[in-house]
Amino acid sequence: MFGRLPPHTMRLLLASFLCAASSLSAQSAPPPLLLVPDRVLDGTGAPAQANLAVLVDSGRIIVVAPRGSIRLPAGTRVLELPGTTLLPGLIDLHSHVLLHPYNEVPWEDQVLREGLGERTARATVHLARTLDAGFTTLRDLGTEGAASADVGLRAALEKGVIRGPRLVVAEQAIVMRGSYAPRGFAPEHRIPIAAEEAGNLPELVAAVRGQIARGADLIKVYADYRWGPDGSAQPAFTVEELRAAVEIANSSGRPLVAHASSAEGMRRAALAGVQTIEHGDGGTAEVFALMRERNVTLVPTVAAGHAIAQYGGWRPGNGPEPTRVRAKRASVQLALEAGVQLANGSDVGVFAHGDNVRELELLVDYGLTPMQAIVAATTTAGRVLQRPADLGAVRVGAPADLLIVRGDPSADIRALRAVHTVIQRGTVVRAP
Ligand SMILES: [Zn+2]
């Protein structure tokens, strides 16, 4: 159409088009925001600081300084936030947005009876609840039979179609053939597996490469699973197999993370060079020492077992803790004593989305200080994700994903539940 117009008309049209485009972007870009809380927690573990204000613009933190010293750009919106603490938006490194609590529908029935459409629709609701709870980034560790739906959800979030945290996805978990599936069916039936199976090294290599092709940000492998003759967790892959999977994932710029709850599964995963070990229930002092030596981060997921024990009839504070819960408490202590880096990841999906903070409350109950728990969910988790730089910190240049809560969570972790305002990429996405 433009080709048939005289050059002068063409130039005018182009100029008016560019004008319209720039006024459109001026309308859609949020104004700079000055946030004035009572105190700032920067996520590094440094004590909360009073009298600081935070200026954000174009999705980033541009100044952190005493309020009086900040020159405000024209059009800055000032948010007075008395009684509050500002901290980095929280990060949960172990979620399943395509699952919902097992006391609503058992896992087997979710993966076998709820279709991809229903599961994806549920996930959009889960994501919005998560953001409203102050979690601005999730690492989602496996769709559990929902194919590549996480890749699609990530695209819908990035395009602003749905509300939710920044999403880093693993697509399907990779499991050893025969180790992982809905249980209780006659052996002659073929049951959907709810993960991607690999039975040998070539299949494992193909699975990793296929997931990369389909859009996974990272690779998740089950280093062990409850497939022992007595139902105990036993190693699934050999160290050599895990090492090959790590090498392929890393060569593409992606980390590989391992589910492991047995000491031997954890040991093999650590030797193979995985980035994080998920769960780690059976970790011994030796295995935790190896993790520390190899810089493998532990994502303890204490809330999952705690929730499952309750689905089995236990009420916290009512009667002795179940063996599994007591053992988890002891293993977190052992990991702390060994100096293993702990990062926050809850296995949410086992319990309700939007209740992610439960993990942090339990970590404090199990021996972390509130500040250590906050660091695990901010700068430590941000370092695990690597991108974008400075994710999980209140620092000049960091992404302006911020949480403002009433009270002081470094004194009482439960203050994280008193969400006041959530800011994502410099925009208020939840107002008081
Ligand atoms: Zn999980």
pLDDT tens digits, one per residue of 325-355: 999 999 999 999 999 999 999 999 999 999 9
The CATH number of residue 41's host domain is 2.30.40.10
Put simply, whether the predicted model's pTM sits higher than 0.85 gets the answer yes
Q: Of 298, 331, 356, which closes a domain?
A: 356
Residues with CB under 5 A from ligand 1 (ion): 347
Write the single-letter amino acid at 35.
L
Per-residue tokens: 203: 């299949």
- E strand or H helix that includes residue 286: helix 285-293
Per-residue pLDDT for 176 more than 70?
Answer: yes
CA of 140 to the centre of ligand 1 (A): 8
249-262 in b/e form (b: 16+ CB < 10 A) is beeeebbbbbbbbb
Query: Nearest CA to 303 among 317, 324, 323, 284?
Result: 324
Query: 37 in a domain, yes or no?
Result: yes
The whole-angstrom separation of Cα 42 and Cα 179 is 43
CA of 44 to the centre of ligand 1 (A): 27
Query: 213 in a domain, yes or no?
Result: yes
Query: 158 in a domain, yes or no?
Result: yes
Residues 62 and 184 in one domain: no
CA of 7 to the centre of ligand 1 (A): 61
Residues 97 and 224 in one domain: yes
Residues 261 and 311 in one domain: yes
Query: 54 in a domain, yes or no?
Result: yes
Q: Of 356, 377, 408, which closes a domain?
A: 356
CA of 394 to the centre of ligand 1 (A): 29
Q: Comparing 122 with 26, which gets the higher pLDDT?
A: 122
Query: 104 in a domain, yes or no?
Result: yes
3-state DSSP assignment of residue 394: coil
The whole-angstrom separation of Cα 376 and Cα 392 is 10
Per-residue tokens: 145: 């039979």
Q: What is the pLDDT of residue 184?
A: 85
C-alpha distances in angstroms, 89 versus 130, 368, 410?
Answer: 11, 20, 15
Query: 126 in a domain, yes or no?
Result: yes
Query: 377 in a domain, yes or no?
Result: no
CA of 78 to the centre of ligand 1 (A): 40
Count other C-beta atoms under 10 Å from residue 7's C-beta. 7
Q: What is the pLDDT of residue 16?
A: 43
The per-residue DSSP string of 100-142 comes to --TTTS-HHHHHHHS-HHHHHHHHHHHHHHHHHTTEEEEEE--
CA of 165 to the centre of ligand 1 (A): 18
What total of structural domains would you count in the chain?
A: 2
Model confidence over 98-125: pLDDT tens digits? 999 999 999 999 999 999 999 999 999 9
- Mean pLDDT for all residues in the chain: 93
The whole-angstrom separation of Cα 284 and Cα 288 is 6
- Taken in order 200, 204, 206, 210, the sign of the CA dihedral is positive
Q: What is the pLDDT of residue 319?
A: 86
Query: Nearest CA to 82 among 35, 32, 47, 133?
Result: 35
**Sheet of strand 135-140: strand arrangement:** 90-95, 135-140, 166-169
Model confidence over 349-358: pLDDT tens digits? 999 999 999 9
**138 contacts: CB under 8 Å, gap ≥ 6:** 91, 92, 95, 97, 127, 130, 164, 165, 166, 167, 168
- Domain residues for the domain of 42 are 28-88+396-430
Residues 114 and 201 in one domain: yes
